[in-house]
Structure 1
Amino acid sequence: MSAPKSPAAGLAKSTNNIIRVGDQEYPLLDIRSTGDLILDVSFKNTAECTKSIPKDAIRELRSKKSPVPSPRIFYRVRLDTLKKHSEYFRTLLAPQFAEGVSVAETLSSLSKSNLNPAEIEAEKLPRVMIVDEDTATKTLGRELIFRDLLQVLHGASPLTSPFTTHALTVLIILADRFGGLPFLTRHFQKNLLSHKYQISQDKNGEEILRQKVLIQFHTDPGVRFAAATKELILRGSFRWSCNYDMSAEYQTSWWDLPHNLEAECAYRRTCVLRTIASIQSQFLAIYSSSRERQCKLGYDSSSSCDSFQLGEMVKFLTKKGLLSLVPFQSVSPEDSDYIWPEAYTGDVDYLINMLRQCPSYQIDHNHGRCGLRTKLLPALDFIKSCIDSGLGIRITASKNGPVFDSWIPPPTPKKSFYVANERGEDVDVAGENPKEFQFALVRPKMVWTGNNSNVERSAKGLFTAEIWDWVTEPESIGKSAGLGIRPQ
């Protein structure tokens, strides 16, 4: 029985490149026709493969109800080239391993027989067997991308066309597994920089974005990786939603980012949303419960102005789906007839732009700057500047692998003990004092100030604060003037 069909098998047969093993024929791909080594690679595929190269291969298999093929492909390569550019092959073919001993003995035997490995038929060359089990990409057709990897390691260009984002991701993952990533990153840099990511707003768009994050993690963990993670954080993820399931379609390496990056991205998004929500929460509380009049004009209409602004504020936020008015009666969480408010799952940039649409409400022409808009826009501008400058994850190399400054707080061993402060708020006196961000201290210079500059000049300082004060009137500044973020 012949081997299962695959894209590479068809390519090999079209060029009459085959190799016999016993009574069977297998595809032989010449990476170098003068190569002195044969890689015998078995690509193990299962029904969990949900992606394919070419794109329509999975659809064709399913329509014909054909079994998923697990092709066995032979590649003719240069031994010295592999050992030079791949840590995996340099180690595998070393004298201390059986594969290295076998290759050396076969080449020695050929030399004694006055046979030039670059000129003889492939059947006589030494072979190295490799099994590639696809647990990372769930992709059918990896034999073509493995050929592309060998092409690059031998100084040539990939042959796959079109070279999609998915193909590039599989290439990077294979290069990482077979120890050729440093060489590929250096000599494939032009292709990596010029590659276009077609990121749409649907689930396929998120998958491409996640592949972009993984590619940058392996090839450019600096500015480009930070920009890619920022894009994912702002967009949000199906992976982080409460109805996420670990179906086979999503059990790929880019749907669960390595080195705790998945949890870090999800946490940073939560921090950003909490910070943005704190603006409307504070001003709703001020206008609805504060005894101090917010309209500072001193007119007879100032009291009415506050009531008007509160009403328009509630109307605007409710209309935009950013505020839900919940009745006072107790409702069971199991009550199917009650519609519970849902957390925002959309794009953060869209959320900010939606808040920017807040009109300049005024009860009459004398109250031109009394509404939410004049307080909201400066805060949103500042948040956006912090998003642009420090939301993405910045990685640095270390002996133990990539490291980054995590926003996720470490576990607190101390048991919480709450007491009321002078403002009637519960404060945990057993743990660390909560950090409070005061916009009035930052806005005049739009820079971070204070003694703890290494922390407070970063976006981390703003988004990981526990209390935010967005009021900018001078009288709201306390004795601790000069601090952008201060402990309570």
Structure 2
Amino acid sequence: MATSSDTAPAEMADCIHVDGTEHKVVDVGSGGNVILEVLFENTKACTKSIPNEMIQKLRTSKTPFPSARVFYRVRLDTLKKHSKYFGHLLGSDVFEEGRAISAKFTELSLSGKDASKLPAEELPKIQIKDEDYATRTIGRETVFHDMLRMIHGMDHSSKSITLLYIAILVVMADRYDCMATIARYITGRFSNFRYPPTLEKTTEEVVRQKIMIFYHTNQPLRFSTATKELIIRGSSRWSIYEEADSNLAAAWWDLPEDLEAELSYRRSRIILTISSLQTHLLSLYMSRIQQCKLGYDSSAACDSFQLGEMVKFLTKKNLLSLIPFQAVSPDDPDFLWPKAYDGDAEQLINLLRQCPSYQIDKNHGHCGLRSKLLPALDYIKECMDAGIGIKVQLWKTERSTQTWIPSPSTNNSSVKKAFVVGGKAVGEERSGKFFDFKSLSRDDLMLGGRSLGVEKAAKKLFLAEKWDWVREVETEKEKEMMSKSSFFRF
């Protein structure tokens, strides 16, 4: 497995002998004056391969995964120009490789030899090791070869371009610090590549690979869509119930530049906001304040009926857990403790939408959970649709204004406690950010936050610390208007 199956035969122009073994040399372009020897180290940690069926054959044979040793003939000046990694390694006397290359070229110059015209055996040689920890993929020498071709201004030679191929190309470009060149190639030559859709939870890796690719290659619309998708779907990495999986160790399972923490935090805020709606409405019906505004003798009974139906509906959908008062050990295997919701955020909204229009009798048609729930869910959904994806360029240049994660100073100042002087309370309790649903204008509701700006509306909603979800419909005319709106489906 010393060379790629996709390598063009014409490039095998020379051979080199190392440790008594003859190896073919892959000629990358013309005028190559150094040999780049790369050991692609493969271990049992690899979970994928190029081509895809290779790893299955290796696992079936139960033989050790072979490592690939490939010799590339490249132009030193081109390598240093487009790759900061090789520029630092070979462009000065700081590293041994740079000193050895410099000494060899001095020797060739004194003897009047043109390195670009010499056989491979006589050229200076550079040795590097490419470990599998970042991609967990066998056969990545195919991608490395194409990366070298792109650096040298040539087209890729691989016939099959897949999402995994592009993901590995981006990982390698990041490692060897030649992202500018590779990003231009990807957005140019691969602009028509059809990124696979992600329809099931099991395809989280696909979403992550796309996020990593779009981030490094500056594809703003695709990046915003992909980050939104992962926020809504959630990640097995963010679940407190999932044990660490050694298979989830490739570079895309830990997104760069604080993206991993940001996406996880945004999702947690969205789930908290949705749950606050349920909690707030339950607390209203459990309070002594009458919620039925009709003023009938049956209004008190209406509230009790609605509370019972709410509890029944939410427990049936596994959105509410009733825990007995007796003390139970957390280690008791016979007791099923409720788990935090780790499913799709849009599916959570859809579950809440299924709440029926309960009424104690025909005179209480607009009482209960559904009439209060749907307008709020519509507004939350609109903010999710357009306000939670990350803008790649702003994230790279103005991260402090884009992040949802509060800074330590902001976090500490959000709550002011009253203090006591001379036995008397001085100052006042000042709570953090408050979202009042009824304070939104009619335009805010009809436009779903677009009048304020979707990003600002989303941050105002999801970064609140307290929520008031009650929004009374006061007139029959307003009821009729709202019932016809897509945002108020009673």
Fold shared by both chains (TM-score > 0.5): yes
1:72 aligns with 2:72: no
Aligned match of 1:250:
248
Partner of residue 131, structure 1: 129
After superposition, the C-alpha distances for 1:183-222 in whole angstroms (9 at most, x for unaligned) are 111232031563413424243x011111112112211274
Q: Is the 8 A contact 1:397 1:403 kept in 2?
A: no
- What do residues 21-47 of structure 1 show as CA deviations (whole Å, max 9, x unaligned)? 241122422221543332111122222
Q: Is the 8 A contact 1:6 1:141 kept in 2?
A: no
More divergent stretch after superposition (368-377 vs 296-305): 296-305
Counterpart in the other structure of 2:185: 187
Could you tell me which residue of structure 2 aligns to residue 468 of structure 1?
A: 467
- Structure 2 CA distance for aligned equivalents of residues 107 and 347 of structure 1: 60
* Structure 2 equivalent of residue 445 of structure 1: 443
- Alpha-carbon spacing, 1:278–1:397, altered in 2? closer, same or farther (3 Å): closer
Unpaired segments ≥5 residues, structure 1: 421-426, 476-488
Q: Does the C-alpha gap of structure 1 residues 433 and 192 become closer, same or farther in structure 2, counting only changes over 3 Å?
A: farther
- Residue 442 of structure 2: SS of its match in structure 1? coil
- The RMSD of aligned alpha carbons is 3.5
Match status 1:237 vs 2:235:
yes
Q: Residue 373 of structure 2 aligns with which residue? A: 376
**1:121-153 deviation per Cα after TM superposition (whole angstroms, max 9, x unaligned):** 322333222222232122211211101111222
Is 1:40–1:75's contact at 8 Å kept on the other side of the alignment? Answer: yes
Tell me what 2:323 maps to: 326
- Provide the rounded CA distance (Å) in 2 between the counterparts of 1:290 and 1:131: 67
Render the CA deviation track for 1:434-474: whole Å, top value 9, x for unaligned: 221100001433179xxxx9999342222121111001128
Aligned: 1:296 with 2:296: no
Per mean C-alpha deviation after superposition, the further-off stretch among 315-324 and 116-125 is 116-125
Alignment of 1:44-83 (within 5 A): 44-83=41-80
2:195 corresponding residue in structure 1: 196
Q: CA deviation at 1:271?
A: 0.9
Match of 1:212 in 2: 210
Partner of residue 266, structure 1: 264
Q: Partner amino acid for 1:156?
A: M
TM-score normalised per structure 1: 0.83
CA distance in 2, matches of 1:454, 1:351: 25
Q: C-alpha displacement at 1:100, in angstroms?
A: 4.4
* Percent of aligned pairs with the same amino acid: 47
Deviation at 1:418, TM superposition (A): 6.5
* 1:95-110 alignment runs, 5 A limit: 95-97=92-94, 98-100=96-98, 102-103=100-101, 106-107=104-105
- Sort the Cα spacing of 1:153 and 1:398 in 2 relative to 1 into closer, same or farther, 3 A: same
Q: Which whole-Å CA distance do the structure 2 matches of 1:198 and 1:6 have between them?
A: 34
Q: Alignment partner of 1:328: what SS? A: coil
Once the two structures are superposed, residues 400-458 of structure 1 have per-residue CA deviations (whole angstroms, 9 ceiling, x without a partner) of 996663323344669999679xxxxxx9x89963221100001433179xxxx999934
Q: CA separation in 2, counterparts of 1:361 and 1:397?
A: 47
Match of 2:161 among 159, 163, 171: 163
Task: Identify if the C-alpha distance between structure 1 residues 105 and 192 changes in structure 2 by more than 3 Å, giving closer, same or farther.
Answer: farther
Separation of aligned partners in 2, 1:75 and 1:390? 47
> What's the offset of the Cα at 1:295?
2.0
AA partner of residue 227 (structure 1): T
Q: CA separation of 1:257/1:19 partners in 2, compared to 1, >3 Å: closer, same or farther?
A: same
Contact between 1:12 and 1:28, CA under 8 Å: does it hold in 2?
A: no
Match of 1:343? 340
